[in-house]
Chain A
Amino acid sequence: MDATVASPVRFEGLSFGWPGGRPIVDGLDLALEAGRITAIVGPSGSGKSTLLRLAAGLSVPDRGAVVTGGDGPGRSAFVFQSPTLLPWRTVRANVALPLELRGTPDPAAVDAVLQRVGLGDAGDLLPRQLSGGMKMRVSLARALVTAPTLMLLDEPFSALDALTRSRMHREFLALWRSAGFTAVMVTHDVDEAVLLADRVVVLDGPPLRPVLDLAIDLPRPRAEHQRHEPGFGARVEQVLAALREET
């Protein structure tokens, strides 16, 4: 699979609410750079996941628009909090699903992406035979197989144990470096946000509004041991302070 072209994302005057409820997003303007990882952090129930659904086209805004630079909605991929694998399909068949649905099956691309996430030998296994980390890698492979320009991730590593999460952080960064997609990741883990992202946006709500927009200019490649460095700690503290103020 070749490196993809990254897509910028702009939320322009975006508004959304469930019928009869208060607005979850109300006139939000936010621009996210192409090829970067942006972490969205905020309290539970603030509407962060709704923002991702709007970006993916899974919900339709009441007003405003989500503008992506890709060539249509088909170029975005979504990684859910749970791996959302189909239990009756093998690893290979799960990864092939998006291509199958679009009518463009490509077994070679499926095998290539499986190799890339380190599951080259696991193609014939069923989800029930996989560990939590392997399931998440299949989920990432399924997102990558469409060569997305925009990757939307909703707390993708939150259900994993600490050791697996740390390994998945490294693997995700490696995939991002080689594929070059734009990533927007919702997370509750401030350390994770600072470790992975180029930019952390703290959103409060509903309705969603940015309360902190912080560039993370720590050098890459990043590694877990950087968590103990003063620069890392200072940025984590800045994000936590913004969250504390709002709650």
Chain B
Amino acid sequence: MTRVAPVLAFVAFLALWAALATTLSEVLLPGPADVARAVAREWARLLEATAWTAAAALAGLGIAFVGAMTGAIAFQWSRRLEAALYPYALLLQTVPIVAIAPLLVVWLGYGLPVSTATAAIVCFFPILTGASVGLRACDPEHVDLLRLYGAGWWQELFKLRLPWSLPYLFSGLRTAVGLAVIGAIVGEFVGSNGQPPTLGYLVLRSARSADTAVTFAAIAASTGLALVCFGAVRLLEARTIGRWHAGAAP
């Protein structure tokens, strides 16, 4: 029943949507069949736009991962450095990404660099937090054990703290990967001129030309992209730590 329930809920949602669509014009609310027709008609453009948005989101996630891991390891190395820099990392999280995006266009010009940068900015903090907490989460007895056998700082990091931090890091990555798609699309709203085509640009252009069915199709593609990315992180989590960490099983 637990597996059937979401399917039933989705069918009910489609039925409700279709019923509501019959009472409104197609421009305001296209029905599921209109959206399906738009997908069939525009699939090549949708696929290309999804690929470019995915590229920006994943590049942003990668940049954020490298930056956040470097930051978390540096914070582990020096509490003073953490005290000095963590408030600014928090500040980055609190500044609305929509407000930064126009500035990024000024700095980086139109195109993928903007959406990559916005994706990286929104991903950075959850990864930094997950990694920082994880690197400090091991028991003091484990640290004593390694020090007893002469482990230095790097050995402690690689043999104990980094593996121990993986469940926390994956928790941060699960949050970050969804945000990466959102961040990329927000960047595309402001910084995409259609070269290359992206989902954000497609949403804006189709909405402006009242082609609402395509807008819905692009939104569905964005959601699908986020779900695929989330699933990939869950799969990676299960493959890397699933054997020893009970919470990692999908």
Interface residues of A (CB under 8 A from B): 53, 56-58, 74, 76-78, 80-82, 84, 86-88, 97-98, 100-102, 126-128, 146
Contact = CB atoms under 8 A, between A and B. Distances in A.
Contacts of B151: 101
Contacts of B147: 58
A87 B245 CA distance: 8
B145 interface: yes
Nearest to B241: A88
A80 B146 CA distance: 12
5 contacts: A53-B144, A56-B144, A84-B141, A84-B142, A86-B159
Contacts of B142: 84, 86
Given A56-B148, A101-B149, A84 B246 contact: no
A58 B148 contact: yes
Nearest to B163: A88
B150 A101 contact: yes
Contacts of A81: 141
Contacts of B244: 87-88, 126-128
Nearest to A127: B244
Taking residues whose C-beta sits less than 8 angstroms from the other chain, chain B's interface range is 20 to 34
Nearest to B138: A86
Given A87-B245, A128-B246, A101 B144 contact: no
A189 to B, nearest CB: 20
B155 interface: yes
A84 B145 contact: yes
Contacts of B145: 78, 80, 84, 97
Contact of B160 (A57, A58, A80, A86): A86
**Top 5 A-B pairs, shortest CB-CB distance:** A98-B149, A101-B149, A87-B244, A88-B244, A84-B141
A101 B241 contact: no
Nearest to A79: B145
A80 B144 CA distance: 10
A144 to B, nearest CB: 13
Contacts of B155: 101
A166 to B, nearest CB: 25
A101 B159 CA distance: 9
Contact of B149 (A53, A86, A97, A128): A97
B148 A86 contact: no
Contacts of B144: 53, 56, 58, 78, 80
Contacts of B150: 74, 101-102
- Give the one of A56, A74, A82, A101 with max B CB within 10 A: A101
A66 to B, nearest CB: 14
A99 to B, nearest CB: 9
B86 to A, nearest CB: 26
Nearest to B245: A87
A186 to B, nearest CB: 14
A100 B241 CA distance: 22
Contacts of A98: 149
A76 B144 CA distance: 13
Interface in B156-171: 159-160, 163, 166
Interface in B194-243: 241, 243
B149 A146 contact: yes
Interface in B91-139: 139
Most chain A beta-carbon neighbours within 10 Å: one of B142, B151, B244, B246: B244
Nearest to B146: A101
Contacts of A88: 163, 166, 241, 243-245
Nearest to A81: B141
A128 B146 CA distance: 20
B169 to A, nearest CB: 13
